[in-house]
Amino acid sequence: MAEEGYKVTLNVYDLSNGLARQLSTSFLGKPIEAIWHTGVVVYRNEYYFGGGIQSSPAGTTPYGRPLRTVELGVTHIPREVFEDYLRDIAPRYTAETYRLLTHNCNNFSHEVAQFLVGTGAGVPDYILNLPAEVMSSPMGPLIMPMIQNLESTLRSNSAPQATQFVPTPTSVSASAPTEAPASKPTVAAAAKREAPAEKSSKEAPAPAPASAPVPAPAPAPAADPLGSARGKVQEEVMREFAAIMASGTLRASEAAALAMRRVMQRHGDGATMQQG
């Protein structure tokens, strides 16, 4: 354990890329600054919840550049202890357990921050309270069926097993002041290492020299379970908006609200049919 500790920060992203600020008043009847996603940065890595618990070297996540960074404090917990903790909670953070309103990336960041720094730290309230704020808006009752439909579709298409946290080779090599002991290989990691050898035996390439070690391939990061769904809904809304504006009968704010309402009604009808 390093006496000086390890700095802990929170990276904050806007998944809407500014659209929430521009369109929320028309869609929801109240202004919303952003659709928040967060990740905790410590030991030179960023840890976040997306298709399971994921980690990437700081500054290399799929979410781009953070909108802002929040200082959470300093932890004296060694990295190996922290990553053992992540393995313990991994079954609670999977694609199947994801809930957009109640069990999302920001809830994960809040729990992790409190483990590292203490109960006085965590994700700011304006991020944690966003779902309740959205659902209390005039359009909240219309949004809920769409959210339920999206989550039902994602869970039915996801793998049934829980995602187990495994540190990436980069996160292990880019260590903090003290080196963590090597993690025990999991069954999934062993299967990935065996797969290239099996493929090479079928293609019969020239054997590598005995002295040349063959590195194991780095596992690809799992995708955000709601990333593609958000993009599809956003594209659908924009197509509706463009079609309504082309008719020339409504103002932009009215067209935006109508486009959102039509998309939500379509998804809501789908959710009703699935539940029936």
Catalytic residue (one of 37, 103, 110, 267)? 37
What is Dmax (Cα atoms) for the chain?
A: 74
Q: Is 103 a catalytic residue?
A: no
Catalytic residue (one of 103, 105, 110, 267)? 105
Q: Is 37 a catalytic residue?
A: yes
- By annotation, the residues acting in catalysis are 37, 105
